[in-house]
Amino acid sequence: MSLVEFFVDPLRYEFMVRALATTLVTAVVCATLSCWLVLIGWSLMGDAVSHAVLPGVVLAYIVGAPFAVGAVVFGFLAVGLIGVVRDTSRVKEDAAIGIVFTTLFAFGLVLVSVTPSQTDLNHIIFGNLLGVSRDELVQIAILAVIVLTALVLKRRDFTLYAFDATHAHAIGLRPRLLGTALLALLALTAVLALQAVGVILVVAMLIIPGATAYLLTDRFGRMLLIAPAVSALCSVIGLYISYHLDTAPGGMVVMVQGVAFTLVYLFAPRQGVIGRRITAARRRTAAAA
Domain count for the chain: 1
Q: Domain holding 185: CATH number?
A: 1.10.3470.10
Domain contains 7: no
Domain contains 11: no
Phi-psi region of 238 (alpha: psi -120 to 50; beta: other; left: phi over 0): alpha
Domain contains 231: yes
Domain contains 178: yes
Q: Is the pLDDT of residue 263 over 90?
A: yes
pLDDT at position 113, please? 81
- Which pairs count as long-range contacts for 66-73, CB under 8 Å and 24+ apart, including other chains? 66/139, 67/124, 67/136, 67/194, 68/139, 68/143, 68/191, 71/190, 71/191, 71/194, 72/187, 72/188, 72/191
CA dist., res. 92 & res. 79, Å (int)? 14
Q: How far is CA 214 from the centre of its chain?
A: 15
Top pLDDT among 160 and 123 is at 160
CA dist., res. 49 & res. 19, Å (int)? 24
Domain contains 6: no
Domain contains 224: yes
Q: What sign has the CA pseudo-torsion 9, 12, 17, 18?
A: negative
Please state the rounded mean pLDDT for residues 54-68: 82
CB neighbours (10 Å) of residue 69? 16
* pLDDT digit string, tens, across residues 76-122: 888 888 888 888 888 887 788 888 888 998 998 888 888 766 555 66
pLDDT at position 33, please? 93
Domain contains 181: yes
Q: Which of 135, 137, 115, 118 is nearest to 57 (CA)?
A: 115
Top pLDDT among 45 and 77 is at 77
To the nearest 10°, report the CA torsion of 27, 200, 43, 37.
Answer: 20
**Alpha carbon distance, N-terminus to C-terminus of the chain:** 50
pLDDT at position 150, please? 93
Structural domain span for residue 79: 17-288
3-state secondary structure of 255: helix
* pLDDT digit string, tens, across residues 186-241: 888 887 787 677 777 788 888 999 999 999 998 898 999 999 999 999 999 999 99
Domain contains 126: yes
Q: What percent of the chain has pLDDT over 70?
A: 95
Please state the rounded mean pLDDT for residues 36-60: 82
Q: Residue 132: pLDDT band by 50, 70, 90 thresholds?
A: confident
Q: Is the pLDDT of residue 159 over 70?
A: yes
